[in-house]
Amino acid sequence: MRDPSEAETDMSEADHLGTVAPRAAPPGQDNAWPVAMLTLRVNGQTHRLALDTRTTLLDMLRDHLGLTGAKTGCNQGACGACTVLADGKRINACLTLAVAAQGQDIITIEGLAKGDALHPMQQAFVDHDAFQCGYCTPGQIMSAIACIHEGHAGSAEEIREFMSGNLCRCGAYPNIVKAVQDVAGQGDMRFPGKGGV
């Protein structure tokens, strides 16, 4: 019988399989933390990972898959820095357990570009200078794509309202709104929804 703490080792052309070890328990705590073999689909690739079942989707992406685009900000659902898409819906990865994300198509900022061609929202953020330090930017871009797809980009006021879950400490809000308006006006945004990128 397979030890569930061991990651799968076989790899097909379409799959990338992360190799992980469950995290050690803090000193003085029982080392027998629950570990499960999870299957997650991220940016069109299937990953099979042995993880502590309490691992968040954000930690799984960053620490186990090396996808560090989604950022850890507040780590409690208040800043939007960790925003990713799950079956086309924007979610806070810091509030989502990896085990609960199984069976969904997870899209991160790393899954948007097609080779050297940026997604129109990425390009719009560059064109409109919609960031300064850039820490919030991956979450802003993922949220902005969903905002348009949800039909909530009809005016600057509406964009501000429906992007209000994404905070920017640098105060780049005016140019973020311009970037979203630009892409919304193009009318042909590629939307990475259920089914992958």
- Is 99 a binder of ligand FES (CB under 6 A)? no
Q: Which is nearer to ligand FES, 4 or 171 (CB)?
A: 171
- Is 134 a binder of ligand FES (CB under 6 A)? yes
Among positions 45, 53, 68, 75, the unique one binding ligand FES when judged by CB under 6 A: 75
Taking the complex as a whole, the smallest distance from the CB of residue 10 to ligand FES amounts, in Å, to: 34
| Residue pair 141/121 in contact by the 8 Å Cβ criterion | yes
Cα 19–71–59 angle (5° rounding)?
30
For residue 163, the number of C-alpha atoms closer than 13 Å in the C-beta half-sphere is 32
Q: Which stretches of 28-178 are assigned E, i.e. beta strand?
A: 35-42, 45-52, 83-86, 89-92, 105-107
**Proportion of the chain in helix, strand, coil states, percent, rounded to 5:** 30, 15, 55
- Please work out the total of residues on this chain that contact ligand FES, with binding judged by CB under 6 A: 23
Residue 86 phi, psi dihedral angles, 5° rounding: -125, 110
Residues in region 35-74 near ligand FES by CB under 6 A: 72-74
- Is 146 a binder of ligand FES (CB under 6 A)? no
Among positions 61, 67, 79, 112, the unique one binding ligand FES when judged by CB under 6 A: 79
Q: Which residues are near ligand FES by CB under 6 A?
A: 72-75, 77-82, 92, 94, 131-137, 168-170, 172
